[in-house]
Structure formats: structure tokens, C-alpha cells
Amino acid sequence: MHYQPQPALLQNRIILVTGAGDGIGREAALTYARFGARLLLLGRTPDKLEQVRQQIADEGGLPARTYTLDLLTATPASCHTLAERIAADYPHLDGVLHNAGLLGEITPMSELAYDTWHDVMQVNVNATFMLTQALLPLLLKSPSSSLIFTSSSVGRAGRSGWGAYAVSKFATEGMMQVLAEEYQHTPLRVNCINPGGTRTGMRASAFPLEDPDKLKTPADIMPIYLYLMGDDSRRKTGISFDAQPGRKPGPAE
């Protein structure tokens, strides 16, 4: 995507990123901070979140805060407690990037362990739903807010072996579409991003034989993350965007 964001695109915007300690989420948090946002960094590994918080501070960004929440064990109660903690410190949220995700096992459906199925659905779908429900009131207090879900090419067309992960991403696309219609007459927009093959730990575990140098880095795919978080996308809702339009799904060639 060719997008030239204004340097002050996200000035003073209050943005929460899940899975902010690593991979694409880490890069998105750092990028949003560089464009002026105040970051809420959510993840399960405190050390990783702290490193991102520190890097934002070192780069002169607005003070960021870290929130530890393991989405595998998240409940409606723990998500509401988190939302209350956030509401005590911030007047509203201008953006939420649901980025945290679990791959599970690449294996035929017939052999997929129920525990894997459960964990992938819990992190990618159930926790995303619970967190969204808890954070919606804060998003609706903003004069212009953006809710972004993270999809995948296997969330649009099923692929052999991608079991629970693919099904969870179809559910993510559905959640986005339902919410986009429910909030179409409000200042909240709801969209999906399919990152496309990107050089991260998750990608390496899905395609261990792939040459990572043939993949885009998280930094390369940030234009769409900026576009959807900032007001240039104000009228866009209910859309599933590709961070790498035209990229063929599957291993890099």
C-alpha cells in the first residue's frame, strides 16, 4: 500500500494493542507511538511488554502503559476488570488493534487435538469477543474510533491442515462484519487486516523451511495499520484489507 501518513496522524490518540510484546503487534505499537499515540500495551509476557514500553520512552514517545492479560485464561470478568482499570486512567479509547493470536498445530482436522482447538478458539475468538465487549464503551466515548481485527488468508478460504486457526480467522471476519453493521451509524469503524506472510515467530513455526528473507517484515506492512488507525480511514467500515495486496497465499517463492 502506498500511503503517506501525516507525522501527527495519531497525535494524542489513545490506542490499545494486543500481543504488543512481539511480532506485528510490537511493530504496530512502536509505529503508532512514533505517530504521536499514547499506547496501552497488552500481552501475556511482562518482560516483552516492558521492553516495548521502554523503547517508546527512549524514542521520546508519549508514556505507554503495560497490561498483562493471558488471553488463554481470560474471562468476561477479567476483561471487565481490565476495562475498569483503563477507564480509571483514560477518558476513552481511540483505537483497539486485536493482534494477539495463536497458531496451534498444523495438522489434518481428523487428528487435531480438542485441547488445541479449544486454545486457538479461546485466544483468537473468545478472548477477542470478551475484550471487545468490555472495551466498546470506551471506544464509543471517542469522537472517532477504530476497531481493527487481525485476519489471515485462511480466514477467507479454508486450507488443508490449517484447522482451528483457519476457522478462528473466519470467525474473526464474521465478528468484524457483525460489529461494523451494528455500529455503522456511530463514529466507530470496524475493519480487518490480513497481514499476509510476514517475518515473525508465528510465521517461522508455520513454515519452518521457508527463507525468512523472502518475507516482508512487520515494519514493511505498517502503512495499512496506520491508515486504518488514523482518520484518513474515517469512512471505511466493514472491510477486510490486505496488508500485501496481490500476494499469493502460502510459502514465499
- Contact partners, residue 245, CB within 8 Å, separation at least 6: 1
DSSP class of residue 236 equals: -
Q: How many residues bind ligand NDP (CB under 6 A)?
A: 27
Contact status: 21 vs ligand NDP (CB under 6 A): yes
Binder of ligand NDP out of 61, 101, 163, 230 (CB under 6 A): 101
Q: Are 148 and 192 a contacting pair, CB within 8 Å?
A: yes
Nearer to ligand NDP, 100 or 180 (CB): 100
Nearer to ligand NDP, 22 or 94 (CB): 22
Examine the residue annotation and report whether 165 is marked as an active-site residue of this protein.
Answer: yes
Contact status: 13 vs ligand NDP (CB under 6 A): no
Q: Are 32 and 39 a contacting pair, CB within 8 Å?
A: yes
Fill in the amino acid letter for 169: K
The C-alpha angle with vertex 73 and arms to 134 and 38, in degrees rounded to 5, equals: 45
Nearer to ligand NDP, 23 or 163 (CB): 23
Considering just the CA atoms, what is the radius of gyration of the chain in Å? 17
Contact status: 44 vs ligand NDP (CB under 6 A): yes
Of the listed pieces 64-72, 87-95, 128-136, 222-230, which binds ligand NDP according to CB under 6 A?
A: 64-72
Sign of CA dihedral 53, 68, 35, 91: negative
Q: Which one, of 64, 100, 96, lies nearest residue 83 by Cα?
A: 96
Nearest residue to ligand NDP, scored by beta-carbon proximity: 23
Fill in the amino acid letter for 176: M
Contact status: 61 vs ligand NDP (CB under 6 A): no
Contact status: 104 vs ligand NDP (CB under 6 A): no
- Check 3, 32, 67, 165 and give the catalytic one: 165
Of the listed pieces 9-17, 37-45, 58-66, 140-148, which binds ligand NDP according to CB under 6 A?
A: 37-45
Which H or E element spans position 95?
A: strand 95-97
User: Rounded to whole angstroms, how far apart are CA atoms 68 and 49?
Assistant: 8
Binders of ligand NDP among residues 179 to 208 (CB under 6 A) are: 195, 197-198, 200-203
State the minimum distance, in angstroms, from the CB of residue 234 to ligand NDP: 24
CA 76 vs CA 120, 123, 225: distances in Å: 17, 13, 27
**Active-site residue numbers?**
165
Q: Where along the sequence are the contacts to ligand NDP (CB under 6 A)?
A: 19, 21-25, 43-45, 48, 70-72, 99-102, 123, 150, 152, 195, 197-198, 200-203
